[in-house]
A and B are shown apart, each in its own frame.
Chain A
Amino acid sequence: MILIEMSISATLLILMIIVIRSLAIHSIPKVTFMVLWGVVLFRLFIPFSLSSPFQNLGLADKLNGYLIRLSAPSVATLPQTSIIQLSIHLTQQAATPISINPFLGIWAAGLILCALFFLIPHLRSLLEYRTALPVNHPVIVQWLREQKTIRPIHVRQFDRISAPFTYGLFRPVILLPKGMDWSDEKQLQYILTHEFIHIKRLDALWKWLLAAGLCIHWFNPLVWIMYVLANRDIELSCDEAVVRAFGANQKSAYALTLVRMEERRSLQTLLCNNFSRNAIKERIDAIMKLKNTSLTGITAALVLVIVAATACATTGPIKIGTPAPGNGNSSGATPVLQNSPTSIAPISTVMNGNSLAVPTLGYPSDTGNVYAISLSEGNSLSQPVTSVTSPIEQINITADSIVIKFHQDMEVSTLNSHSVIVADEHSTILTYAFDFNYHEDTRELHLDLKPEMKPTVALPSPFGTGPAGPIQVILTQNIRTGDGKSLISEIDFMFDYQP
């Protein structure tokens, strides 16, 4: 699911770049597009946004976790009624995530196919390229001597290619077609410089990353478009650098070299002829229209990059499907627990991922340690958890019960195992272990550990003899107050349970 969200937010960026590219390709430095594609790649690979990595971890995600746990074989030991109860509960809470799995299989199959589609021909040709022969042409020997690089560059000739190219990330090899015109020194210089810029800029790595992005997001047609355009932009950006290195007066000579190489190529690969002809036309166009970079161009490019980067960093993956409970609430702190000295210590928590166990604060009491966190969206975790709107007045935890005292009268029928989830640290729902009793007179919900669940052996197991580790309690939005209102957002707290 998160993948589709990533894909969709990347799609918006790609569309934006395509528009910019078609409008401004000749007026801003080509390297801008490389940076913009880099932002898209970041979006395609990294599942969360920079500024608020946790904002999207709603209840739906947690329940996904529960579903997986529940399908574990250990569930078989649960009493029959509990299973039914749990499944009802789950269908209500998270009806959609259950349908993910077949898609996951299709996606994985597509990923593998795509990866093979790239890797097999690539590895096969690498084996062939190894058999290329060295070149002892004086111009090339001289040129190699002049280049200072950390990675040693080799130039070799090969009789089975028609146009020059470079391969290898760590030990780059420039491969020249055997039949090229070795006497045209200027042309050789252009070709070598072009390939050298590819090497210097680690374009091989770029191409790998683009291919990887495509493999992961193979179902997204816009990622395919990005793959094609970004690969072209690698060339355009490289051409730009070559023209810069030789001076604008040589751009037509350089463009002619490209045309000559392309002629040779199209003799061999008829299959992608049409397509590459479009690409070469674009390249020649771009070279001939290269101007000295204007200040406006650079400014525009900078603005674009900043806008794209910010858009990427702040929007985050776009949620689709079931809206996670609590999404509507983004206004400041969510009430979690009352800051009462007799029951719960002040809470300040540092989140680490969406793990349920966040042991940063110990509660010095014989009733156990209390950690309070609300994982729902929009919470500022650094703020104190007290709030006038909190429906909970106090929480008491004793050896065999959890007592939640509410500020106001609650609707009894909503205080049941469907709306109050009790889970252990393995996200196993433990509702079966507790009896739910609401005392209307004291406005207290008692979650009493069932007698048969109380530990009788030294090493209690979470299934046989009641909860062993930290317990998490989630009060969902299904809970209603006496006057029929539901909670603003879900409430969630965690404590160590030591019977």
Chain B
Amino acid sequence: MEVKLFDSELRVMEILWNEGDVTAKRIADILGKQVGWSKTTTYTVIKKCIAKGAISRIEPGFLCHALITREQAQEFETTELIKKMYGGVADRLIASLLGRNDLNANEIERLKRIVKELD
């Protein structure tokens, strides 16, 4: 699924990914508390998600259902990142990740294992 989701839309998706199908009203309640959005603002974002094909609306009760999974969204964002920042070459991203100094030894070890498995 080739859909670019903005941060605001990801906040809505995050709720659906964590809680499963919930009503728009519940999303508005949660986000009202979390990020201070008004009800109308939340509904605007939900409608945007529906237009992008990320959410489907189920009646009755304006129940929201995620049409894309967290993994799909991650996949898309990663592809974007590789295209934009690493010239479309994935191993440069890996190199960059391995070169980070905020990774501890365990994490680096795990990354190396993943790379080896894919080899």
Contacts and interface: CB of A to CB of B under 8 A. Distances in A.
Interface of A: 127, 130-134, 154, 157-160, 178
A178 B7 contact: yes
B36 A131 contact: no
B25 interface: no
B35 A133 contact: yes
Given A132-B8, A158-B7, A159-B8, 12 more contacts: A127-B44, A130-B37, A131-B8, A131-B37, A131-B41, A131-B44, A133-B7, A133-B11, A133-B35, A134-B35, A154-B36, A159-B7
Interface of B: 6-8, 11, 35-38, 41, 44-45
A453 B45 CA distance: 72
A133 B44 contact: no
Nearest to B7: A159
Scoring B7, B11, B44 by chain A CB atoms within 10 A of each residue's CB, the highest score goes to B7
Contacts of A178: 7
A268 to B, nearest CB: 14
A130 B41 contact: yes
Which interface residue of A131, A134, A160 has the most chain B CB atoms within 10 A? A131
B56 to A, nearest CB: 20
Contacts of A160: 6
B30 to A, nearest CB: 14
A134 B7 contact: no
Contacts of A131: 6, 8, 37, 41, 44-45
Contacts of B35: 133-134
6 contacts: A131-B44, A131-B45, A132-B8, A133-B7, A154-B36, A158-B7
Nearest to B11: A133
A130 B36 CA distance: 10
Nearest to B6: A159
Of A130, A154, A158, A178, most buried by chain B (CB within 10 Å of CB) is A130
A178 B8 CA distance: 12
A158 to B, nearest CB: 8
Contacts of B11: 133
Contacts of A154: 36
Contacts of B37: 130-131
A20 B14 CA distance: 56
Contacts of A134: 35-36
B28 to A, nearest CB: 13
